[in-house]
Amino acid sequence: MRRYCFALDLKNDPDLIQKYIDHHQNVWPEVLESITDAGIIDMQIYNAGNRLFMIMETGDDFTPAGKAKADQENPKVQEWEALMDTYQKWLPFASEGQKWVPMDQIFSLEQALNS
């Protein structure tokens, strides 16, 4: 199993932030299916103000490139992503076309205690 962590901002508007949260309380079934079909075992999104953090737990067969390719070929996922774009504000240091920016782990309690 692997863990991936990502960050993304929302537009700093309380009404838009609430609408984004509301959408994530009722994610479309096709989007959920695309997530699990990609080998993602668990996905959690947290927010603080307009900042989002996503944590994904994946199986060993998961690849970000494979997920991106499948998403590009799925019209319903593309519709969902277009809708989410109305709420999201990409991080200023994100690469071209990169929504969710991967985060680097800088601390692990387990590793610190075992070193």
**Percentage of the chain exceeding pLDDT 90:** 97
Residues 6 or more apart from 50 whose CB is under 8 A from it? 9, 10, 11, 12, 17, 89
Two tokens, residue 107: 């601390």
| Of the candidates 34, 36, 38, 33, the residue with the CA atom closest to the CA atom of residue 61 | 38
Residue where the block lists tokens 């519709």? 79
Domain residues for the domain of 58 are 2-113
d(CA 84, CA 24): 10
Label residue 94 by pLDDT band (50, 70, 90): very high
Could you tell me the pTM of the whole model?
0.92
Number of domains into which the chain is organized: 1
Q: Using one digit for the tens of pLDDT, what is the confidence trace for 23-64?
A: 999 999 999 999 999 999 999 999 999 999 999 999 999 999
User: Which domain CATH number covers 66?
Assistant: 3.30.70.1090
